[in-house]
Amino acid sequence: MPRIAYVNGAYERTSEAAVSIEDRGYQFADAVYEVWSVFDGRLADLSGHLDRLERSLSELQIAMPMPRTSLLVVLNEVIRRNRIREGLVYLQISRGVAPRDHVFPVDTLPSIVITAKPVDRAAAEIKAAAGIKAITAPDIRWGRCDIKTVGLLPNVLAKQQAKAKGATEVIFVDHDGYITEGGSTNVYIVTKEGEIRTRSLEANILAGVTRLNLLPLIRESGITLSEGAFTLEEALAATEVFVTAATSLVMPIVAINDTLIGDGKPGPIACALREVYIERARASAGV
Ligand code: PDD
């Protein structure tokens, strides 16, 4: 079955769908994006992602190309046309198409592209049960990582470096030696005292929607949670390290730079949080 993409008002075969060579997303990374997980054919953490999309657009002074309700219809139609039950939806909105000039074009409509792909949940659970390895890299990104732009070159290069070293994720470390976030995830540690720590949103990181919806679940579970800075050394000494994102959900990190975390196996807290997060995300999907 051919994959179907939504491109500026039309549903097209993904293999044939195209945007202009003068799209500002292509020329300047002048675009934002969102990724949703799909459970049972419904968008997980729906409103959190829509809220962040609106914020990203507003920070870049790009207009929402359509009202939220209409966007929701299109997102669901892409899921339906691709017959996705378990999967991921990708949405990208750029400032639009205009002759190349750094300053904003006048009266240009934003471009919008939406694609979807299936996810093999059984394979994802096998991966999570083994955990993944990470490497570290200096956080050389710009100062507005709170905006979810498609300008991801530092992330791309660092994740490629991770792959070359047999790891799956990169953990960024800032100038002061503190961990910020992952190449495409937020990062958490479980300290020897049993407290979960993750960087606060005041740091130059993305406000992950998975993070947003996981933090209350951590608090409900009775585990002490603190949003604050932690070093690589603290992560290496932690009993558990895990990351979150719409793509990986809650994923245990079992080694950083070849140093095993704990006993080198996914920890009980990360595994339990993964289960409870997926349960909640599935139950509340579409809302
Ligand atoms: N990335 N930090 C960064 C740098 C990210 O790119 C992402 C997500 C996250 C987690 O955000 P969320 O929980 O809302 O998915 C944190 C997406 C999934 C990606 O680029 O594929």
User: Are the C-beta atoms of 65 and 110 separated by less than 8 Å?
Assistant: yes
Catalytic residue among 133, 148, 159, 265: 148
Ligand 1 mean position, distance from CA 32 (Å): 12
List the one residue out of 200, 57, 37, 188 whose CA is nearest residue 121: 37
pLDDT tens profile 148-162: 999 999 999 999 999
| Cβ of 185 less than 6 Å from ligand 1 | yes
As a whole number of angstroms, the distance between CA 125 and CA 227 comes to 28
| Cβ of 211 less than 6 Å from ligand 1 | yes
Return the best residue to mutate from 37, 52, 185, 274 for the ligand 1 pocket (most ligand atoms within 8 A of CB): 185
Topology, domain 4-119: D-amino Acid Aminotransferase; Chain A, domain 1 (3.30.470)
Going by alpha carbons, the residue nearest to atom 16 of ligand 1 is: 185
As a whole number of angstroms, the distance between CA 17 and CA 198 comes to 39
Which homologous superfamily does the CATH classification assign to the domain defined by 124-284? D-amino Acid Aminotransferase, subunit A, domain 2 (3.20.10.10)
List the one residue out of 33, 5, 8, 7 whose CA is nearest residue 246: 33
- How many other CB atoms sit within 10 Å of the CB of residue 107? 6
SS3 87: strand
Task: Locate the domains of the chain by residue range.
Answer: 4-119, 124-284
| Cβ of 35 less than 6 Å from ligand 1 | yes
Question: What pLDDT shows up at residue 206?
Answer: 98
Question: What pLDDT shows up at residue 287?
Answer: 84
Question: What pLDDT shows up at residue 1?
Answer: 83
Going by alpha carbons, the residue nearest to atom 19 of ligand 1 is: 184
Nearest-atom number in ligand 1 for the CA of 90 is 21
List the one residue out of 218, 212, 213 whose CA is nearest residue 146: 212
pLDDT tens profile 202-240: 999 999 999 999 999 999 999 999 999 999 999 999 999
As a whole number of angstroms, the distance between CA 56 and CA 22 comes to 22
Question: What pLDDT shows up at residue 48?
Answer: 98
Please state the pTM of the whole predicted model: 0.98
Query: Which residues of the chain fall below pLDDT 70?
Result: none
